[in-house]
Chains A and B, each alone.
Chain A
Amino acid sequence: SYELTQPPSVSVSPGQTARITCFGDALPKQYAYWYQQKPGQAPVLVIYKDSERPSGIPERFSGSSSGTTVTLTISGVQAEDEADYYCQSADSSGSCWVFGGGTKLTVL
């Protein structure tokens, strides 16, 4: 079955830039999406179609894609950004959604 691979954890100090990667063989052909999930809450969409930002999401959140890797970048990290982040994309058939295993972002 298709898999998306994320690092289990990323740590940054406030004000620094956090980069969370997601690797998948089908990513050159399929868009990626990113979600932020805080404890006890439902996930929130922060990036869609690799790099588009939904309304209401701060500009410090951005996304990019290069080959089999997509990256969520959080510039000027704030304490409130501490959360789990999940990438999502489709398998090569485009009919099955897959989530990455999630990355815990710790703000030191």
Chain B
Amino acid sequence: QVHLQESGPGPVKPSETLSLTCSLSGAPVFNDSLSSDYWSWIRQPAGKGLEWVGRIDTSGNTNYNPALKGRVSMSVDSSHNQLSLNLNSVTAADTALYYCARESFWSGYSHGFDYWGQGILVTVSS
């Protein structure tokens, strides 16, 4: 059973960098089986909808939400089976519950975000 757990240092001040880690158990970050696993960060402000932040694939290639205007970066630490998210120059608008999620690809098609972490609340405040 795949299990994802987000973690982070706590509140972030405006203009600083938000850094989160997603620890994975039950599956390797890099999967060389017939399927391909992509790893995404998705966020949700309180009482609002879901927003995709970005993803990283098994080759380390990344796609980011253009709405975040180049403030986001993601990486993978395969030795620790962890994913990382950095979002710089944060403002109060970046306050949200941040989820990491797995997306499986089979035969070139996404099968959706089938495993999610429980989420971590990040507050941007001075």
Contact = CB atoms under 8 A, between A and B. Distances in A.
B31 interface: no
Contacts of B99: 42-43
Interface stretch (A11-19, A20-28, A65-73, A91-99): A91-99
Given A35-B113, A42-B119, A88-B112, A96 B65 contact: yes
Contact of A43 (B50, B51, B67, B111): B50
A7 interface: no
Nearest to A32: B112
Interface in A63-108: 86, 88, 95-102
A45 B113 contact: yes
Contacts of A43: 50, 99, 113, 116
B121 to A, nearest CB: 12
Classify chain A's interface size.
Answer: 20 to 34
Contact of A99 (B51, B55, B66, B109): B51
B15 interface: no
Contact of B112 (A1, A33, A42, A101): A33
Contacts of B110: 31, 33, 48-49
Contacts of A54: 111-112, 114
B14 interface: no
A101 B49 contact: yes
Can you list the 9 inter-chain pairs with the closest CB atoms, starting with the nearest?
A48-B112, A42-B116, A97-B52, A33-B112, A99-B50, A102-B49, A45-B112, A101-B49, A95-B63
Given A49-B109, A97-B40, 19 more contacts: A1-B67, A31-B110, A33-B110, A42-B99, A44-B116, A45-B113, A45-B114, A48-B110, A49-B111, A54-B112, A86-B49, A86-B50, A88-B112, A96-B52, A96-B65, A97-B52, A99-B42, A99-B51, A102-B49
